[in-house]
Structure 1
Amino acid sequence: MAAKIEIISGETIKPSTPTPEHLRDFKLSLLDQLIPHQVYIPILLCYSHHDINNAFGSTDDHFSVISQKLKTSLSHTLTHYYLYSGTTVKDNLSIDSNDTGVVFIESKVNANLSDILISPLLDVMVNDFFAFDPYNFDEPEANMAVQLNQFNCGGIALGVTFNHKLGDGITAASFLKHWSLIARGQGSLIEAPQMETCNLYFPPKNFKMPSYRDMLTQEDNVTKRFIFSGTNLTRIRDRITSSSKNLSRIEAVTALIWKSALEASTKASSKEQKIHASRAIHVVGIRGRMDPPLPEVTRGNLVVYSLSPLLELKGEVGLHDFAEMARKAVRGVDKDYVSKLVGDGILESVEEMKASKQEGVAVYTFSSVTRLGYYENDFGWGKPTWLGTVSKRPNKNTALFFPTRDGEGTEAWITLSKDDMVEFERDPEIVQYTSVDC
């Protein structure tokens, strides 16, 4: 079901206090520089009309009140996260923090929020809840953009797009937490962001990253959302535990998705080149693995891409084999490993990633935002009823894990080629452990 979305207003929100002159030419860290140009983190926070009515009463025009509160608190938040109100990257080295501001768009959606929550991946409508398509490289560049969407029922969806060059998912989560606390009048609880700490450990170097457009696969990819309840996550982990000790639930579900996606690719492939081995890449946060550990409010792309050992597809390869490789990829990023990356040691890890691309070796990438507290973002009218992102992602063979609202399960947003997805969806184990929205 398609729904008409009408843009009703747009303005630019600037920091409530001008950015000091000495902070305006902000140098990126080496980890920031490694993020390809024009990559964005799109986060969608949906709030039900029931919660909004409970907060404001059932007779007032809530949307104008909510909009003004969001704009005012965003202005104050940008004073602390001043990079997001600046202009885009200069020569992959720095940000011009010139207080250009953040675009804030308001829209009306000719549908009820419940229509979206029942099947949030229906058509491509979710993409229209953002100020721009984060994967359309013809769009104007921006460090951040906000779109506030009002539904017929009175519910809202807040679509926020962050420039990945300025920070990872934890940085985005810290920004949203900061913003929501100010909106609720709880600024005294805010922990100020550490904007430059990352640069001290990973000083910038003078080099250019390739275009993100050139790094994408040209196939007709499909993204679908598969829901694993907390009970099913435990069932998957318990099934493997006898042969893989201390396995986390995310590591277990990673193994299941990896195995099923690989088998789907083998069935769907008509290529002469056969897959003889596979690897998994895990995006692993390193703030807590630094020595000493860095707080979550440390701005930047403090993540590494950890490559699993090569899994040779010879003889019988069981789920426990995939689980063991997944576990090694995640657990291998310890303090000793991270200490070797400080400075420009991270570049060796990048070269290792490049070397992983070999003919006949299928590589799958996994990342998780399940513990980042996105569902805690209460701006004054309750916590989100659903958390999402754009409904079509361009990177093939990837899985992004979101939490479910109850905090017990996970939503796996999986992107595969169109042919692989057909086989993946009917895999008996995927059917057994999930529900799917399409």
Structure 2
Amino acid sequence: MEAKVEIVSTETIKPSTPTPDHLRDFKLSFFDQLILDQLYIPILLCYPHHDIKNAFGETSDYFSVISQKLKTSLSQTLTIYYPYCGTTVKDNISIECNDTGVVFIESKVHANLSDILKNPLLGEMVRDFLPFDPYNFDEPEVNLAIQLNQFSCGGIALGVSFNHKIGDAITVGYFLKAWSLIARGQGSDVVVPQMETANLYFPQRNKESANLRDIITKKEELVTKRFTFSGTNLSRLRDKLSSSSKNLSRVEAVSALIWKAALEAAIATSKEQKIRASKVCHIVGIRPRMVPPLPDVTRGNTYVHSLSPSLELKGDVGLHDFAEMTRKAVRSIDADYVSRLKGDGILKALEELKAPTEEGVPIYTFSGVSRSKYYESDFGWGKPTWVGTVARRPLKNAILLLPTRDSEGAEAWVTLSKVDMVEFERNPELLHYVSLDS
């Protein structure tokens, strides 16, 4: 199946109030500086026709009403998230907040939204519902772009691409929350973001950022597939592991399961190189781990990579071993660790992550957005029925964990080599917990 996307209009939305002169040169924090150039957070919010019909009745021109409401509220939101409507990053130091605005595209999709929701990876079509391909390096550098898609059935999907330099998944979630509150006429409930707080704790340094183009895997053909775990299945998995790893979180449990299955797939397909060990890397947010904790509305990239020691593949290595190693990696990022990141301690932490890649020791990297609350993005016609991302990701052995709509389950977007994926998706232990509709 192919979904033909017809671009109807393209315009620029500027903030309703000009950015004051003293805010125009926006300094990046050190964590912002570490983010790769041209790295974007692509989000797709899907809203079915029946919810829109309930909100607007039989109005035939509801799409134009939705479009205008989104544009007006976006303009107002950009006054408090002003870096998003600026121009590109200058020498990895600052953003010029000159109110250039953000691109707003409208399109018609000659397909039904239900077809996409049944299988969002069909033909990598999700990419067509975003304003641009986040992994096409020939695309213009922007800080924010939006595409409003109208489907033949009457449903809509809002595709949004955020420059990762400006903020992480939590920042994106609070931007969407502010935008949706303003769209519903509840602007007084918006919690104004703390734009400079992260810069105070982690001031910038002389640091050149790397380009995503330089680190993507070029030799192997990669495949990304989605695997869904219901809340019930995650509870069963946690119960199974509870005896060996007390108080294991759902994220830790599902990470251990995926890590083990992916490693077993790599072992099965390995020909010349023997795999003797493996490591897991978790991206861990530090806002709640600071003393005192930073509020979620703190703008910026406030997370670190936690790399585990090697899990040696000797003797009887079971799922509980993967779970325990995952737990240690995640929980090593505690208040004491975060306190050591201040000053030059952060440089030492970065050096530890730069350990040379060991032959026969693959690393699996997990990131998640469980606290981002994307499913609360109600612009006046209900919450999204599904939140997804682009179906093609260029980093090998990378796993993105997204919450399900009920917040109890998880979606895992797993990127492996094509040969590894064949083995991975038929792993019996994995399939025991994957939902049938995955």
Output the TM-score relative to the length of structure 1: 0.98
Matches within 5 A, 1:290-329: 290-329=290-329
Equivalent position amino acid for 1:235 in 2: R
Q: 2:249 is matched with which residue?
A: 248
Q: Is the 8 A contact 2:16 2:78 kept in 1?
A: yes
Q: 1:207 is matched with which residue?
A: 207
Matches of 1:192 and 1:371, distance apart in 2: 18
Matches of 2:298 and 2:250, distance apart in 1: 27
Q: Is the 8 A contact 1:145 1:161 kept in 2?
A: yes
* SS of equivalent residue, structure 1 residue 322: helix
Q: 1:49 is matched with which residue?
A: 49
CA-to-aligned-CA distance 1:273-309 (integer Å, 9 cap, x gap): 2111111110111011111111111000000111112
Matches of 2:345 and 2:380, distance apart in 1: 44
CA-to-aligned-CA distance 1:35-60 (integer Å, 9 cap, x gap): 01110000110001000000000233
Matches of 1:412 and 1:93, distance apart in 2: 34
Equivalent position amino acid for 2:392 in 1: K
**1:141 and 2:136 correspond:** no
Identity rate of aligned residues, in percent? 71
CA drift at 1:124: 1.2
Matches within 5 A, 1:276-287: 276-287=276-287
Matches of 2:342 and 2:387, distance apart in 1: 34
CA drift at 1:341: 0.6
Q: Is the 8 A contact 1:30 1:344 kept in 2?
A: no
Matches within 5 A, 1:17-416: 17-218=17-218, 219-270=220-271, 272-355=272-355, 357-416=357-416
Matches of 2:356 and 2:262, distance apart in 1: 18
CA-to-aligned-CA distance 1:370-402 (integer Å, 9 cap, x gap): 232110110000000000000011111011111
CA drift at 1:217: 1.0
Q: Is the 8 A contact 2:227 2:434 kept in 1?
A: yes
* SS of equivalent residue, structure 1 residue 416: strand
Matches of 1:71 and 1:345, distance apart in 2: 44
Gaps of 5+ in 2: none
Matches of 2:370 and 2:209, distance apart in 1: 29
* SS of equivalent residue, structure 2 residue 165: helix
CA RMSD between the two structures: 1.1
* SS of equivalent residue, structure 2 residue 45: strand
Matches of 1:183 and 1:106, distance apart in 2: 18
Equivalent position amino acid for 2:287 in 1: R
CA drift at 1:366: 0.5
* SS of equivalent residue, structure 2 residue 392: coil
CA drift at 1:437: 7.0
Aligned length, in residue pairs: 437
Matches of 1:61 and 1:357, distance apart in 2: 57
CA-to-aligned-CA distance 1:178-236 (integer Å, 9 cap, x gap): 00000000011111000010000111011212221111111211000000011110111
Matches of 1:118 and 1:398, distance apart in 2: 24
Q: Is the 8 A contact 1:150 1:157 kept in 2?
A: yes
Equivalent position amino acid for 2:333 in 1: V
CA-to-aligned-CA distance 1:9-49 (integer Å, 9 cap, x gap): 00000010000111111110000000011100001100010
Output the TM-score relative to the length of structure 2: 0.98
Q: Is the 8 A contact 1:376 1:384 kept in 2?
A: yes
Equivalent position amino acid for 1:94 in 2: S
Q: Is the 8 A contact 1:226 1:436 kept in 2?
A: no
Matches of 1:261 and 1:279, distance apart in 2: 12
Q: Is the 8 A contact 1:33 1:92 kept in 2?
A: yes
Equivalent position amino acid for 2:22 in 1: H
CA drift at 1:342: 1.6
* SS of equivalent residue, structure 2 residue 55: helix
CA drift at 1:354: 1.7
**1:11 and 2:8 correspond:** no
Q: Is the 8 A contact 1:119 1:437 kept in 2?
A: no
CA-to-aligned-CA distance 1:117-160 (integer Å, 9 cap, x gap): 01111111100011110111111000000000000011000000
Q: Is the 8 A contact 1:174 1:297 kept in 2?
A: yes
* SS of equivalent residue, structure 2 residue 223: strand
* SS of equivalent residue, structure 1 residue 284: strand
Q: Is the 8 A contact 1:202 1:344 kept in 2?
A: no
Matches of 2:343 and 2:107, distance apart in 1: 45
Matches of 1:185 and 1:342, distance apart in 2: 40
CA drift at 1:102: 0.2
